[in-house]
Structure 1
Amino acid sequence: MAGGMYEALLHLFAIRQKKNEQTTLAFIVALIGLGLVFSSFHLIRQFSHWFRRRHGRSMMPYYLVAIPRTIRKWSLRRVVGVPSLGHASVVTIYFVVNVVCLFVNMDRKGLGTTTNIASRSGWLATANLLFVIFFALKNTPLAFLTTWSYERLNCLHRVCGYGALVHTIIHAACYSYYFTNTGQASILLRTSDIMGIVAGGSWVLLVLAAIFIRPWWYELFYYLHVILWVVSLITLGLHRPDLSSKVAIGTVVAGAMWGMDRLIRLVRMVFYTVNNSATLTPLSNGGTRVTLAKPPVGGIPGKHTFLWIPQIRLFQTHPFTIASAEPLEFVIASRDGFTGALHKYAVANPGVRLRASIEGPYGTLPDASAFETVVLIAGGSGASFIFGLAQALLRTKATSHVVTQKVVFVWIVKHNSQLEWFSDHFITLRSDPRFSVQVYVTRSSPPPPPLPSLHSGTTLQNEDEEKKGPRGFAGDDYERRQHLHAASSDSSIDLEKSSPPSDGESTLGADADPSIDEKNVLIEYQRPDIPGLIREVVGEVAAQESILIAGCGPGKLMDVMRETTADCIRWDGPSIELHCEKYGW
C-alpha cells in the first residue's frame, strides 16, 4: 500500500516536472520571439532608409513609411519609470508572459496548488535569470541586431532582475507555508534548501543594493553586485545540483554566459596592457585629459571603453567616451571616487605617464553621414559624445557617399569655465560651412564687452541684430547679451558621464576666463529653447530627405528631445532618426 502511494506520488511529480519544463521553454521562446519582433522592426527601418536613399521616397510602398513611423511616434513618448513608451510596452508584455506562465499548464488534481505554484515559480526564477545575464552581457549579439548595446539594455536587465526576485519570493513563501502547515518545516533545514535560502537572500540583497546603494556609492554597489551574484550562482547550483532535474542546466548556462563574457573582456584588457600607458593632464574646472598610447581596434569617437589605471584603482575599470581616436583621448570630469582621485593625481603630477589598459569599445552609433541634416545637442559633459559624432562627419567630408548638408551643433553648460575644455576643438567645426555652432551658458554672467582697441578680433552684434536673432536658438525674445567667438584644433574630449564638480569643489583654474572667449563661436547666456530649435530645423527639411537628432546629457534634456522628436514624426514628413545617450551606466 505504502509502495503504491509512493509510486503514485512519483508519477505526480513526473507530470509536474514535464509541465514545468514545457511552460518554462514556452516562456523562453516567447521572450526570444518578442526580441525578434523588435529586431525585425529595426531591420525593416534600416531597409526603408536604404531603399529611400537608393530609389527615392516616391518609389517606396506607403506601408513601409506610414506603419513604422506611426509606431515610432508613440513608442518614443516618455513614460514614468522607463525611458519611453516602447520600453514600457516591452516591460508590460514581459510581465504578462510571466503571470500567464505562472498559472497555465498546471495539474491541479494531484498535488496541491500551493506546491505547484511554488515549483513553477522556481523554474521561472531560473528562466528569468538567463535573461538577467543575457541583458547584462557587454558583448551582446543584440548590438548587431538592434540599435541597443549593453548600456541601453540595462533597463531590461533590471526589469528581469525584479521578475526573478518576485518569482524567488513566491517560491520561498509558498514552500515555507506548505511545509510549515503540514508539519514538515524540518525539510527547510536540509543542506540543499539552506543553499536555496542563501541564493534567494543574495538576490534580495542584490536588488536592495541596486535601489539604495547604487545612486549613493556606485563603487560599493559594483563590488556587492559581483560578490552577491557569484554567491547566488554557486548556492543556486547547490540548491538543485542534479542535471537530470534540468533546473541545473539553466544555472550552468547562466554561469557560462557570464564567464565567457568576463573572459573576453579579460583577454582584451591583457592585450591592451602590452606597451600601453596613459598620460594625465590636469584641466580647469576639475577636468583631466587622459591620452592612451595604444588605441583599441574599432575605437572611434563617440563610443566608450572601460579604462583601467592600476596606480589610481587596482581593481576598478570605469567607462569613458572616446573623444579623439588619434591619439586616443578622454577628458574626464572629476567627482568622487575614481575620477576625483585621478584628477588629484594629475594636478600633483602633471604630464605623468602611468601603466594603463582599456577594454572595449562599446556602444552603437548612427551613421551621421547618411542624413541630409544632423542636429547634435549636449548638456554638460555629454558634449564628448556629440563632438565624437561631429568628428565622424568631418572625417567623411571628402568621401562621395556623404549626403549631409547641414549640421546644427548645440552645447549647454552651467558655467563658462567648462568651455575651455573644448575650446581647441571648435575651430575644426567652424571651418566646415555645414556646421552651425551654438553654445549656451545657463549660470554664469557674460563678461563685459571687450574694447575694440584691445580685442580687435572680437565683435558684438548690434542691437537690431540681437532683436532679430534666430527663433530656433532664442525664441521670440532675443534681447540678451551675445558674444562672437570661434574655435581651434581637433583635440577631442570626453567627460565621464557625470556632472561637473560643484561650485564648492577645489578646481584648477576655475575662475579663469575660458580661452574660447577669444574665438568666433556664438555664446548665449540663457537657457535654450530646445523644442523650438528641433521643430524649426525639422520644418526646414524636405519630405524626401532625412534628419538625425542625436544628444547626450541629463535625463530631463533627453526627455524633452524624445517628446519633441515624437511630435515631429509624420508619415508625409522627412525621415527622422533619434539617438539619445544619458548620463550613468
Structure 2
Amino acid sequence: MTYPQLLLKRHWISWLSPPSLGRVLFLVFYWAVIVFMMTNKAVISDAYYWERIGFRNAWISVTQVPLVYLLASKSSIVGCIVGSSHERLNWLHRWVSRTLLLTVTVHGGFFITEWVRADFVKLELEMMPMVKYGIGAWAILVWTFITSLSPLRSMAYEIFVLQHIAAAAVFLWLLWVHVPSYASYNVWFAIAAVSFDRIIRLLLAVYRNIRLRRDTLCNRTKTVGHEIEVQAAGNDITVVIIKDVHMSWKPGQHLYLWIPRLGLLESHPFTIASLCMSSQGCHCNEIQLAIKTQSGFSRRIYQYATKTQETSESLTGFIAGPYGSPPKWEAFESLILIAASTGASFTLPILESILKTPRTICIQRIKFLLIVRERSHSDFYVKRLSDALANAEAMSISLDIEIAITGGEAWSVADETVGTLHAEQKSQFSEDDTQELKKANQQQAYVLVKFHSPSSSTSSRYRPASEKDCCCVGDGEKSEPLLPSNSIIYSYGRPDIACFIRRPVEMTGGETSVAVCGGKSLVTTVRNSVASLSDERAVHKGTGAQGIHLHVEEYCF
C-alpha cells in the first residue's frame, strides 16, 4: 500500500508530484495530530478567541523547531533510533519545515488580526520589540520555503546550500530573541542538535582523513587527505579513484567528497561504486566513484580529467562517511536490480557482494537491468558484469543481465555494436542479420555477448529478437523475451519495466526484493509496477504469493 506514487509527466510541473502513498499517509497522520493540537478546546467564540489560538500555535511551532534541525542532521539521532540514514529522512525535514511555516503563520496571523481589530498594532510594536523579531523569523521561514522549491534549488545548488545554512542560523537567533524565557529551552534543544551533528562530523572527518602514524602494510602516500585519480570515461562520465582509504562500507552506501582545488566550499555525495575488499590486518581500500557530468562540480572534475588524461596528475581530496542503511539483500530468494546510468554504482556492488559472499544465502536468481542513453555509458561496468556472470555460474545462481540503450536510432547503435566486435567474430554474422537489426528501428532488438566461465569456451554472437521469443501473459500483453541466461543482453529502446519485474516474481516461491536507483520517472514506474503486481497476485492474502520488497534510491537534490 505504501509503494504507489503519482507522477505529473509534464517536465515543467513534474516537481509538483506528490510523495509516495506511504509518505502521504504518514504526513496525513502527522497533520491530523498537529490540527488536533491547534484546535482542541480552543475554538470558542469569546473575547479570547484570537489570542488563545495564536498562543496555542506559538507553542506548537516552537516545539517543532528541534525536530526540524534533528531531521536535517547527517549524524542523525532520529535516523539512529528508527534505523535509517539521514538522506532518507530529508523529505520529512522539508515537510516538517513547511508545517512549521503554517503553524507560525497561524500564530502570527491570529495575533495581528486581534491587534488590527483593537486598533492596537502600532502600540504593540512599540511596547513589545520581540514582535519585530518574530516577524523577521517568519520572513526567514518564507524565504527558506521559496528557495527550497525544486526548480530554484536546482538552479544553483551550491549557493542554495550556503544560504540555507546561513538562514537556519539567523532563524535560531531571531527565535531566541522572540520567544519568552520560559520557552527558550526549545531553541537550545535545536542548537544542541546542530552542535552535536557538527562535532560528530568534524571528529569523523579528522578520523577518516588524517593519519599521524604511517602504516607500512598499506603503502600510504598521504598523511592529510587522500590521493585521488580521475579518468574520463566516455563523453560525460568521470571515474574517480580514491586511494588508501582506511574504512569499510556496505554495498549501496555513499560518501561525501571534497576536493578543495575544484570547489573550495563544495562537498558532494556520491554512491560508492566499488566493493570493500579488506585483507587481514589492514582495512586499506581503494574507492571508485562514477560521476555523470551535469554542471558545477561534476563538470569541473570531468574537464580536469580530460585535460590531465595523459599526464595522470593526482588531486588531494577529503571524504566523509560512509552513509546509508541498505537492507540485507541475501535474505531474499529472487533479487531484481534496476538502475539508470550511474545508478549502477548502487546496484552493481550489491550484485558483486552477493556473488562473493562466503556465507550460505537464500538467493537463487538475480535480474540486473542497466538503462543508459549511449552504450559508452555502460563501458565502465561491462567488465565487472562479465566477471559477475562467471561468479554466478560457479555459485549456481541464475543471473540475467540486460543493458537497455535508449538514445538514438536502433540502427545506429547496432552499427556501433557490430563495429566493435573482434574481426574473427564478425565472420559469425551474416549480412542479413546486420540488415535485420538496422530495420528494427525503435523496436526491441537484442545483441547477445556471451561471457562464459574460464572453464568454458568464450564466444560472442548476435541474434535479433523475434515474436516467438515473447510469451503472452494475458490480454495480449507480452512479457520479456525468453533469452538465454549467463549473457549480457543489449536491448534498444525503453524497456518494459513491468514485464522485467513480472517474470522473476512469478518464478520464485519465496520473497523477492526489487532495488532501483534512478530519476523520478524510473522510480515511479518501478513503484507502481511492484504495487500493481503485488495487488494482482494478492500477496500474503491466502494465495501463497510471497512478499515483494522494494528499496528506492532516487536522484534528487
Scaled by the length of structure 2, the TM-score of the pair is 0.78
AA of the residue aligned to 2:171:
S
Q: Aligned pair 1:215/2:184, yes or no?
A: no
Indicate the residue corresponding to 1:532 in structure 2: 499
Distance 1:451 1:421, change over 3 A: closer
TM-aligned CA deviation for residue 478 of structure 1: 7.7
Indicate the residue corresponding to 2:166 in structure 1: 227
In the aligned structure 2, how far is the partner of 1:180 from the partner of 1:238? 24
Deviation string, structure 1 residues 494-513 (Cα, Å, up to 9, x no partner)? xxxxxxxxxxxxxxxxxxxx
TM-aligned CA deviation for residue 139 of structure 1: 2.2
Distance 1:166 1:296, change over 3 A: farther
Q: Aligned to 2:261, what secondary structure does the other structure show?
A: coil
Matches within 5 A, 1:304-453: 304-324=254-274, 325=276, 326-350=285-309, 351-396=312-357, 398-399=358-359, 401-431=360-390, 432-433=392-393, 434=397, 435-444=399-408, 445-448=412-415, 449=418
What is the aligned counterpart of 2:73 among 128, 137, 142? 137
Q: How many residues align?
A: 467
Q: Which moved more, 1:77-86 or 1:335-344?
A: 77-86
TM-aligned CA deviation for residue 319 of structure 1: 0.4
Q: Aligned to 2:346, what secondary structure does the other structure show?
A: helix
Matches within 5 A, 1:68-467: 74-79=1-6, 81-106=17-42, 108=44, 112-144=48-80, 146=82, 148-185=84-121, 186-189=123-126, 190-211=128-149, 212-240=151-179, 242=181, 245=182, 247-274=183-210, 275=223, 276-277=225-226, 278-295=228-245, 297-324=247-274, 325=276, 326-350=285-309, 351-396=312-357, 398-399=358-359, 401-431=360-390, 432-433=392-393, 434=397, 435-444=399-408, 445-448=412-415, 449=418, 454-456=423-425
In the aligned structure 2, how far is the partner of 1:107 from the partner of 1:78? 36
Distance 1:463 1:531, change over 3 A: farther
AA of the residue aligned to 2:54:
A
Q: Aligned to 2:209, what secondary structure does the other structure show?
A: coil
Distance 1:457 1:304, change over 3 A: farther
Distance 1:168 1:487, change over 3 A: farther
In the aligned structure 1, how far is the partner of 2:29 from the partner of 2:430? 55
Please tell me whether the aligned partners of residues 400 and 488 of structure 2 are also in contact (alpha carbons under 8 angstroms). Answer: no
Distance 1:178 1:207, change over 3 A: same
Q: Aligned pair 1:552/2:517, yes or no?
A: yes
Deviation string, structure 1 residues 248-269 (Cα, Å, up to 9, x no partner)? 1111101211221122112222
AA of the residue aligned to 1:530:
I
TM-aligned CA deviation for residue 97 of structure 1: 1.3
What is the aligned counterpart of 1:578 among 550, 554, 557? 550
Over the residues paired in the alignment, what is the CA RMSD in angstroms?
2.9
Please tell me whether the aligned partners of residues 66 and 190 of structure 2 are also in contact (alpha carbons under 8 angstroms). Answer: yes
Distance 1:191 1:348, change over 3 A: farther
Deviation string, structure 1 residues 16-41 (Cα, Å, up to 9, x no partner)? xxxxxxxxxxxxxxxxxxxxxxxxxx
Deviation string, structure 1 residues 146-171 (Cα, Å, up to 9, x no partner)? 46422222221111111100111112
Deviation string, structure 1 residues 361-415 (Cα, Å, up to 9, x no partner)? 111212111112111011122111101211221221x32x312111111111111
Please tell me whether the aligned partners of residues 76 and 566 of structure 1 are also in contact (alpha carbons under 8 angstroms). Answer: yes
Please tell me whether the aligned partners of residues 458 and 520 of structure 1 are also in contact (alpha carbons under 8 angstroms). Answer: no
Q: Aligned to 1:75, what secondary structure does the other structure show?
A: coil
Q: Aligned to 1:366, what secondary structure does the other structure show?
A: coil
Deviation string, structure 1 residues 10-67 (Cα, Å, up to 9, x no partner)? xxxxxxxxxxxxxxxxxxxxxxxxxxxxxxxxxxxxxxxxxxxxxxxxxxxxxxxxxx
In the aligned structure 1, how far is the partner of 2:191 from the partner of 2:165? 12
TM-aligned CA deviation for residue 528 of structure 1: 1.0
AA of the residue aligned to 1:195:
Y
In the aligned structure 1, how far is the partner of 2:432 from the partner of 2:502? 26
TM-aligned CA deviation for residue 134 of structure 1: 2.3
TM-aligned CA deviation for residue 356 of structure 1: 1.4
Deviation string, structure 1 residues 282-303 (Cα, Å, up to 9, x no partner)? 2222222222224363423320
In the aligned structure 2, how far is the partner of 1:332 from the partner of 1:265? 24
Distance 1:192 1:288, change over 3 A: same
Please tell me whether the aligned partners of residues 306 and 317 of structure 1 are also in contact (alpha carbons under 8 angstroms). Answer: yes
TM-aligned CA deviation for residue 191 of structure 1: 3.1
Structure 1, gaps ≥5 residues long: 1-73, 468-473, 490-518
AA of the residue aligned to 1:405:
Q
Distance 1:343 1:561, change over 3 A: same
Q: Which has the higher contact order (CA 8 A, sep 6+)?
A: 1
In the aligned structure 2, how far is the partner of 1:196 from the partner of 1:353? 51
More helix by share: 1
In the aligned structure 2, how far is the partner of 1:296 from the partner of 1:135? 29
TM-aligned CA deviation for residue 525 of structure 1: 1.2
Q: Aligned to 2:377, what secondary structure does the other structure show?
A: helix
In the aligned structure 2, how far is the partner of 1:320 from the partner of 1:279? 15
Please tell me whether the aligned partners of residues 460 and 482 of structure 1 are also in contact (alpha carbons under 8 angstroms). Answer: no
TM-aligned CA deviation for residue 461 of structure 1: 10
Distance 1:460 1:411, change over 3 A: farther
Please tell me whether the aligned partners of residues 552 and 580 of structure 1 are also in contact (alpha carbons under 8 angstroms). Answer: yes
Deviation string, structure 1 residues 63-84 (Cα, Å, up to 9, x no partner)? xxxxxxxxxxx22122464332
Scaled by the length of structure 1, the TM-score of the pair is 0.74
Q: Which moved more, 1:92-101 or 1:131-140?
A: 131-140
In the aligned structure 1, how far is the partner of 2:198 from the partner of 2:296? 24
Distance 1:128 1:87, change over 3 A: same
TM-aligned CA deviation for residue 422 of structure 1: 1.8
AA of the residue aligned to 1:371:
F
TM-aligned CA deviation for residue 173 of structure 1: 1.7
Distance 1:323 1:106, change over 3 A: same
AA of the residue aligned to 1:209:
T
In the aligned structure 2, how far is the partner of 1:479 from the partner of 1:337? 36
In the aligned structure 2, how far is the partner of 1:457 from the partner of 1:428? 23
Please tell me whether the aligned partners of residues 373 and 406 of structure 1 are also in contact (alpha carbons under 8 angstroms). Answer: yes
In the aligned structure 1, how far is the partner of 2:132 from the partner of 2:307? 52
More strand by share: 2
Deviation string, structure 1 residues 117-157 (Cα, Å, up to 9, x no partner)? 11111111112222222222222245455464222222211
TM-aligned CA deviation for residue 426 of structure 1: 1.9
Please tell me whether the aligned partners of residues 423 and 487 of structure 1 are also in contact (alpha carbons under 8 angstroms). Answer: no
Please tell me whether the aligned partners of residues 487 and 521 of structure 1 are also in contact (alpha carbons under 8 angstroms). Answer: no
Distance 1:479 1:110, change over 3 A: closer
